[in-house]
Amino acid sequence: MNDKKGIEVLKDMRLSKSTAFTAEERENLGLRGLLPYAISSQDIQKKRAIENIRRKESNIEKYIFLSALQDRNERLFYRTVIDYIQELLPIIYTPTVGEVCQQFSHIYRIDKGFYITPEDKGDISTLLDNWPEKDIRVIVVTDGSRILGLGDLGCNGMGIPIGKLSLYTAGGGIRPEHCLPVMLDMGTDNESLLEDLLYLGYPHKRLQGEEYDEIVDEFVMAVQEKYPMALIQFEDFITPNAYRLLERYQKKILCFNDDIQGTAAVALAGIYTSLRILGGSLRDQTIMFLGAGSAATGIADLMVTAMMEEGLTIEEARHKLWFVDINGLVTGESKNLQPHNKPYAHDYKAMGFIEALREIRPSILIGASGAKNTFTKEVVELMSAHNERPVIFALSNPTTKAECTAEDAYKWSDGRVIFASGSPFGPVTINDRVIVPGQGNNVYVFPGVGLGAISVGARYLPDSAFLVAARELARQIHQSDLDAGTLYPKMTSLRTISFEIAVAVATHLYQLDLATLEKPRNLRAHIKSMIYDPTY
Ligand code: NAD
Our mutation pick for probing the ligand 1 site, out of 239, 261, 344, 369, counting the most ligand atoms within 8 A of Cβ, is: 369
Which long-range contacts link 185-189 to residues 24+ away (Cβ below 8 Å)?
A: 185/115, 185/116, 185/117, 185/143, 185/144, 185/154, 185/155, 186/117, 186/118, 186/143, 186/145, 186/212, 186/215, 187/118, 187/154, 188/144, 188/152, 188/153, 188/154, 188/155, 189/152
pLDDT at 481: 87
Ligand 1, atom 2: nearest CA belongs to which residue? 293
Q: How far is the CA of 272 from the centre of ligand 1 (A)?
A: 22
Which residues line the pocket of ligand 1, CB cutoff 6 A? 146, 148-149, 239, 259, 263, 266, 290-296, 324-326, 368-371, 374, 395-397, 401, 422, 440-442
Q: How far is the CA of 85 from the centre of ligand 1 (A)?
A: 26
Q: Using DSSP bridges, classify how beta strands 321-325 and 328-329 pair: parallel, antiparallel or unpaired.
A: antiparallel
Q: State which ligand 1 atom lies nearest to the alpha carbon of 149.
A: 32
Residue 410 vs residues 224, 275, 396, 468, 478: alpha-carbon distances, Å: 49, 18, 18, 31, 22
Cis peptide before 118 (omega within 30 of 0): no
Q: How far is the CA of 370 from the centre of ligand 1 (A)?
A: 4
Q: How far is the CA of 297 from the centre of ligand 1 (A)?
A: 10
Provide the 3-class DSSP secondary structure of residue 141.
Answer: strand
Instruction: Give just the sign of the alpha carbon dihedral 201, 149, 405, 438.
Output: negative
Residue 403 vs residues 231, 266, 334, 365, 474: alpha-carbon distances, Å: 33, 18, 23, 11, 24
pLDDT at 1: 52
Backbone torsions φ then ψ of 50, nearest 5 degrees = -70, -35
Contact 125, 86 (CB under 8 A): no
Q: CA–CA separation, 242 vs 323, rounded Å?
A: 19
Domains of the chain: 1-40 (1.20.1370.30), 92-237 (3.40.50.10380), 261-441 (3.40.50.720), 444-516 (no CATH)
Where helices occur in 195-293 by DSSP H, the ranges are: 209-226, 239-249, 263-278
Ligand 1, atom 4: nearest CA belongs to which residue? 293
Cα dihedral: 414, 282, 398, 345 (round 10): -110
- First CA to last CA distance, the chain: 17
Our mutation pick for probing the ligand 1 site, out of 243, 374, 395, 419, counting the most ligand atoms within 8 A of Cβ, is: 395
Backbone torsions φ then ψ of 515, nearest 5 degrees = -95, 140
Q: Active-site residue numbers? A: 93, 164
Residue 110 vs residues 10, 86, 169, 178, 375: alpha-carbon distances, Å: 17, 25, 19, 19, 40
**Low-confidence residues of the chain, pLDDT below 50?**
none
Q: How far is the CA of 496 from the centre of ligand 1 (A)?
A: 30
- pLDDT of 80-139, one tens digit each? 999 999 999 999 998 899 999 999 999 999 899 999 999 999 999 999 999 999 999 999
Our mutation pick for probing the ligand 1 site, out of 235, 256, 330, 397, counting the most ligand atoms within 8 A of Cβ, is: 397
Provide the 3-class DSSP secondary structure of residue 402.
Answer: coil
Ligand 1, atom 12: nearest CA belongs to which residue? 291
Q: How far is the CA of 218 from the centre of ligand 1 (A)?
A: 29
Q: State which ligand 1 atom lies nearest to the alpha carbon of 398.
A: 34
Average pLDDT, the chain: 96
Contact 113, 181 (CB under 8 A): yes
